[in-house]
Amino acid sequence: MKTRTDPAVRALEECCPAVLSSPLTEGKAEELAMAFGVLADPVRLRLLSLVTSAKAGEACVCELVEPLGRSQPTISHHLKILADAGLIEGDKRGRWVWYRAVPCRLDLLRSVLA
């Protein structure tokens, strides 16, 4: 278990202070509501799960079509929504985009739920 003395935890606290340590500002509440709203869709929640659990730490959009049984354009649409919310980021390599999670954003959402 990570403690407050762990460098990763200290870096997270500097970047994303504990949300529940003080009342949320209107702006922060809107930001969090938007991020949680993005995850309220089952396809996007499954996509995030597939990306974060990928063995290489990233997943190609081409690898995400079959597990979800949706078309590639539909998957790309949902991935764009996740990326716009700052939960994942992608790199275009040739014809495909490879996605990975943004740990600080996911840790912020976890801290709200903790």
Question: What domains, with CATH codes, occur in the chain?
Answer: 7-113 (1.10.10.10)
Per-residue pLDDT tens digits for 43-52 = 999 999 999 9
| pTM (2 d.p.) | 0.76
Per-residue pLDDT tens digits for 67-107 = 999 999 999 999 999 999 999 999 999 999 999 999 998 88
Q: Considering only CA atoms, which of 35, 62, 39 is closest in space to residue 49?
A: 39
Angle 55-58-61 from CA coordinates, rounded to 5° = 115
- Between CA 108 and CA 20 the distance in angstroms is 11
